[in-house]
């Protein structure tokens, strides 16, 4: 099984583990006491116009901002050469619209911060109605913020998809009470919209395109991902967990009413980056996560597969984290519409599994690797890991990843695959909707 390392999990394994694992502190629970109030419509406004010294004037306004204030950026193109940072709680950063207020970091210098905008405020921040273009690193990053709203933003690398683009578009990590809505993310060399090690998350009505991965939820709890368009990425929507991070849980995630269509873009991740091994044509992927409900999605024209459900063990990587759970359990997939997936499998996934599955891959791929301490596969227990019901047009296979040996496959010795979807029939009780106080 070591030979299939990175085939399925190239998107997830890169994550944010290297940067955050050693130094991070877990985000506060949504139940933690919050003293300051969310921003209101009657906030005082400090306005910054485009033009000479805009960088200095904007950063000064953010340094001097007080809780309850709006820092408003006028219409036009702002040419910035270093990261714009905010560490004050209760502040709104507002532009005039994502095509009217454009923050360009094309000339961002070395040693001036990798992000376009960096938020380290404790709580209650909103950023909206602007665009961040051509950041050297991540476009907009928030770290450790309670109640952080991203609205009507555009993050983009204007030279098109290429490996020199920054890794992430919108990137909250170790945050809670997160809203990402009505945003567009294009051209990230890792993920357009990425939420890591966080809790109480709503990602809705966004468009992610021309990224290596469109939308990712990593090591997070209580997430609703809905009414998004993920198209023309290498992979569309991912829910997963990784070992060796401060926050280890990945459960209670609803992925619904999304359009996951034609995520077949060539992989343009930087050379040597693990995400560079992901196969084009991955619609959705769930890895090492529990209690994920996938329903009422349109999943079409993803060349390798519409949905892949796998254990971290299939990577062949050793696990030194004793508290990490590498298995999927309680995955419910129901009421989705699948069409024209798996018609042209590519990348390492296609090369490995074509001898086993042929040139037409199923809409749903399951590796069948489960925690035998909790689930007994010999007694039909795999339904405890995965339940399937009423998925229109969906073909399915359990490809028995635990027995997969590429050398044996090449020699014509194929493991048994299970295509009988009836063994997985059923639907769990629906997960509760994610709510954020004061948000409709």
Q: How does pLDDT run across 291-301, given as a tens digit for each residue?
A: 999 999 999 99
96 located within any domain:
yes
pLDDT in tens, 30-63: 333 333 444 455 679 999 999 999 999 999 999 9
Question: CA dist 82 to 23, 136, 171, 201, 351, Å?
Answer: 24, 9, 18, 29, 43
49 located within any domain:
no
- pLDDT in the model for residue 45: 96
Q: How confident is the model at residue 25 (pLDDT cuts 50, 70, 90)?
A: very low
Query: What total number of domains does the chain contain?
Result: 1
pLDDT in tens, 102-129: 999 999 977 667 899 999 999 999 999 9
244 located within any domain:
yes
Residue 361's nearest CA partner among 273, 281, 252 is 281
432 located within any domain:
no
33 located within any domain:
no
Tell me which residue range forms the domain holding 325: 2-15+57-424
The total of other beta-carbon atoms located within 10 Å of residue 189's CB is 23
158 located within any domain:
yes
12 torsion bin: left (phi>0), alpha (psi -120 to 50), beta (else): alpha
Two tokens at 3? 């030979």
- pLDDT in the model for residue 416: 81
What is the pLDDT averaged over residues 308-315?
Answer: 90
430 located within any domain:
no
pLDDT in tens, 339-387: 999 999 998 788 888 888 999 999 999 999 999 989 887 777 888 999 9
Is residue 400 within 8 Å of residue 375, measured between CB atoms? no
pTM above 0.85?
A: yes
Round to whole Å and give the CA distance between 353 and 294. Answer: 24
44 located within any domain:
no
**Residue 288: which CATH number?**
2.160.20
- pLDDT in the model for residue 40: 54
For 20, list phi and psi in degrees, rounded to 5: -100, -20
């Amino acid at each position: 099984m070591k030979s299939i390392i990175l085939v399925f999990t190239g998107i997830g394994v890169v994550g944010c583990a290297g940067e955050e694992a050693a130094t991070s502190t877990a985000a506060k629970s949504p139940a933690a006491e919050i003293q300051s109030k969310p921003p209101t419509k009657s906030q005082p406004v400090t306005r910054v116009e485009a033009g000479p010294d805009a960088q200095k004037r904007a950063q000064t306004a953010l340094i001097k901002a007080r809780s309850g204030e709006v820092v408003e950026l006028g219409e036009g193109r702002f040419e910035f050469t270093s990261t714009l940072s905010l560490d004050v709680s209760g502040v709104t950063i507002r532009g005039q619209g994502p095509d009217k207020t454009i923050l360009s970091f094309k000339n961002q210098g070395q040693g001036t911060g990798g992000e376009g905008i960096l938020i380290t405020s404790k709580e209650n921040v909103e950023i909206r109605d602007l665009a961040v273009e051509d950041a050297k690193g991540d476009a907009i990053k928030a770290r450790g913020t309670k109640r952080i709203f991203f609205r009507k933003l555009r993050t983009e690398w204007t030279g098109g998809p290429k490996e020199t683009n920054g890794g992430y578009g919108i990137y909250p990590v170790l945050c809670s009470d997160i809203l990402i809505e009505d945003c567009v993310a294009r051209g990230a060399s890792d993920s357009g919209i990425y939420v890591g090690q966080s809790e109480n998350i709503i990602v809705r009505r966004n468009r992610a395109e021309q990224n290596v991965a469109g939308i990712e939820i990593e090591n997070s709890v209580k997430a609703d991902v809905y009414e998004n368009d993920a198209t023309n990425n290498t992979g569309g929507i991912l829910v997963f967990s990784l070992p060796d991070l401060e926050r280890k849980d990945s459960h209670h995630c609803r992925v619904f009413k999304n359009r996951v269509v034609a995520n077949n873009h060539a992989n343009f991740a930087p050379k040597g980056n693990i995400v560079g091994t992901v196969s084009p044509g991955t619609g959705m992927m769930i890895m090492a996560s529990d209690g994920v409900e996938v329903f009422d999605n349109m999943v079409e024209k993803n060349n390798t597969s519409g949905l892949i459900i796998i254990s971290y063990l299939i990577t062949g990587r050793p696990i030194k984290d004793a508290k990490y759970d590498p298995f999927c359990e309680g995955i419910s997939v129901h009421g989705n519409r699948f069409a024209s997936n798996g018609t042209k499998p590519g990348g390492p996934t296609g090369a490995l599994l074509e001898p086993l599955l042929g040139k037409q891959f199923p809409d749903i791929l399951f590796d069948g690797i489960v925690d035998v301490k909790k689930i007994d596969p010999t007694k039909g227990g795999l339904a405890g890991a995965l339940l399937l019901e009423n998925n229109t047009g969906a073909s399915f296979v359990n490809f028995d990843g635990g027995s997969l040996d590429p050398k044996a496959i090449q020699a014509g010795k194929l493991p048994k695959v299970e295509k009988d979807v009836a063994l997985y029939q059923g639907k769990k009780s629906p997960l509760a909707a994610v709510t954020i106080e004061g948000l409709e």
